Structure 1
Amino acid sequence: MDRTTRLYALVEELRAAAPRPRPVAALAARFEVSTRTVQRDLQALMDSGVPVRTTLGRGGGWTVDPAMTLPPVHFTADEAAALAAALATTGTPYAGAARTAYQKLLASMTGPAAAAAETLAARIVALPSRTRRPVRDAVERALTDGTVLRLSYADATGRASERAVEPAGLLTAEGHWYLIAWCRTRRAGRGFRLDRITEATPTDEPARPHDLPTLLRGSAAATATPPAALDGRPRAPLVP
């Protein structure tokens, strides 16, 4: 068994046993390798972001949070190449997560499929984003957690303002990303171009839920549709 296959098998072994921990010695016997090799593999999984952890003492060992991992998914070579190319060129937001997902996808493939994926990804280029990483991280957190976000924003004329917003979703158009949110200052839905947000401060205050199509209604983005790749069926516009 090669190392890549063993790493995936280790995760599945821990998933099957969860929430009970598995001792290193038992894992070493299961995969017919040394305990040192298992320790090294588990540390590599942890370093790559897999939610494995160890508990010390009697009855201790290694566990994985099954709610934070996915079971094995089998892709065709074409599907893997397409995913690798898309992930390799994902801009803000979620660029960090896309980068690690791309690395994991490549690590899971071997032979012609891996070569095809890397070749396709190498043929696609993108201009660097001007969105600052702290801004991107704050927007990601607010969208994921459903919390209020405080913004320092400069509009197209350069006029600065401070806003408290309740995020509803993201819009991409003509090479730019926009945070669509309910603006408490304007008491209406607004779009904030990410590269014009000069500072973003996450809060722990829960945001009220807002319907994205409703906030887009009447705007220039009223006919926006979800990306077709997210569903094999034809998509209607978000706003009828």
Structure 2
Amino acid sequence: MRRIERLQALSEVLRRSGARGVTAERLAREFGVSLRTVKRDIEALDNSGLPVWSRPGPGGGYGVIAQASLPPVRLSPAESVALLAAVSAASEAPYSDLAAAGVRKILDVLDPETRAQADQLANRIWVNAEETATRVVRSALEEAMAKQLVVRIRYVSGAGDETRRDVEPIIFASTGGRWYLIAWCRLREGIRWFVISRVARATVTQLACSGHEIAEIGAPPETARPLRAEG
């Protein structure tokens, strides 16, 4: 996860912690960083103008003074829960952390009656979305894709064979209930599909991708489509 994305996600965690706050140790575990990095990030948020409070000693931690960061949003309870269900059931999707943070921002500024109805409806939906790829791995793959940088991965095949490869990310794809990284593999000198849940480790390098295009993957299935921001 890039630092700017971590800072954004961290600000959301702090904001949602309310009067309870959250400890630096918990934040370090959640974001896969050191305590020193957590404290440095909190200092950066404080310097940027975010009203961060801290409470030392046992039971202490960090939090943010409650404040709305979005204007009122008009959504029905069902629409609100639909957004929540979508991101909760797609925890393996690329950039899902940012999607969840965005949905939480929307839910936090709903009017009290709509929020209460949405909470009641949400209790009737269960999601068993077990994460099989760590946040650190997914964040590295996401960063490599966004910046078009070579990513060094440790990959475990379905047969249990482990290889280390430098790959050039081309697209993320979801099919058959699995998410894949489709990339140019420098080890095999060809395009390969990597099951993201089988990537044991990923490190973004500073090497730029050599420019492989989406068209090299071939025509997508008739039922496949790229994401579109417009309605």
Shorter chain as denominator, the TM-score bin is 0.5 to 0.7
Question: Within 5 A, what are the aligned runs for 1:2-21?
Answer: none
Question: Within 5 A, what are the aligned runs for 1:151-190?
Answer: 151-190=153-192
> What is the CA distance between 1:88 and its match in structure 2?
3.1
> What is the CA distance between 1:203 and its match in structure 2?
0.9
Look up the equivalent residue of 1:165 and give its one-letter code: V
Show CA shifts across 1:102-161 (max 9, x none): 321210112343234334444141331211222111111111221110111111211221
| In structure 2, C-alpha distance between the alignment counterparts of 1:178 and 1:130, rounded to whole Å | 13
Look up the equivalent residue of 2:89 and give its one-letter code: T
Q: Which residue of 2 aligns with 1:111?
A: 112
Q: Which residue of 2 aligns with 1:84?
A: 84
Look up the equivalent residue of 2:184 and give its one-letter code: W
Of residues 176, 201, 204, the one that matches 2:203 is 201
Residues 88 and 98 in structure 1, CA contact (< 8 A), matched pair in contact too: no
Of residues 138, 143, 161, the one that matches 1:141 is 143
Residues 184 and 192 in structure 2, CA contact (< 8 A), matched pair in contact too: yes
Residues 87 and 101 in structure 1, CA contact (< 8 A), matched pair in contact too: no
* Higher gyration radius (CA): 1
Compared with structure 1, are the counterparts of its residues 176 and 210 closer, same or farther at alpha carbon in structure 2 (3 Å cutoff)? same
| In structure 2, C-alpha distance between the alignment counterparts of 1:71 and 1:208, rounded to whole Å | 40
Residues 106 and 114 in structure 1, CA contact (< 8 A), matched pair in contact too: yes
Q: Which residue of 2 aligns with 1:96?
A: 97
Q: Which residue of 2 aligns with 1:226?
A: 225
Look up the equivalent residue of 2:91 and give its one-letter code: G
Compared with structure 1, are the counterparts of its residues 154 and 216 closer, same or farther at alpha carbon in structure 2 (3 Å cutoff)? farther
The secondary structure found in structure 1 opposite 2:48 is: strand
> TM-score w.r.t. structure 2 length?
0.60
The secondary structure found in structure 2 opposite 1:91 is: coil
What's the RMSD between the two structures over aligned residues? 3.2
Q: Percent identity?
A: 29
| In structure 1, C-alpha distance between the alignment counterparts of 2:223 and 2:187, rounded to whole Å | 25
Q: Which residue of 2 aligns with 1:60?
A: none
> TM-score w.r.t. structure 1 length?
0.58
Give the total of aligned pairs: 168
The secondary structure found in structure 2 opposite 1:182 is: strand
Residues 170 and 184 in structure 2, CA contact (< 8 A), matched pair in contact too: yes
Q: Which residue of 1 aligns with 2:131?
A: 129
Show CA shifts across 1:10-66 (max 9, x none): xxxxxxxxxxxxxxxxxxxxxxxxxxxxxxxxxxxx97x989814xxxxxxxxxxxx
| In structure 2, C-alpha distance between the alignment counterparts of 1:211 and 1:73, rounded to whole Å | 41
Compared with structure 1, are the counterparts of its residues 73 and 149 closer, same or farther at alpha carbon in structure 2 (3 Å cutoff)? farther
Q: Which has the higher contact order (CA 8 A, sep 6+)?
A: 2
| In structure 1, C-alpha distance between the alignment counterparts of 2:169 and 2:134, rounded to whole Å | 18
Residues 154 and 196 in structure 1, CA contact (< 8 A), matched pair in contact too: yes
Compared with structure 1, are the counterparts of its residues 83 and 127 closer, same or farther at alpha carbon in structure 2 (3 Å cutoff)? closer
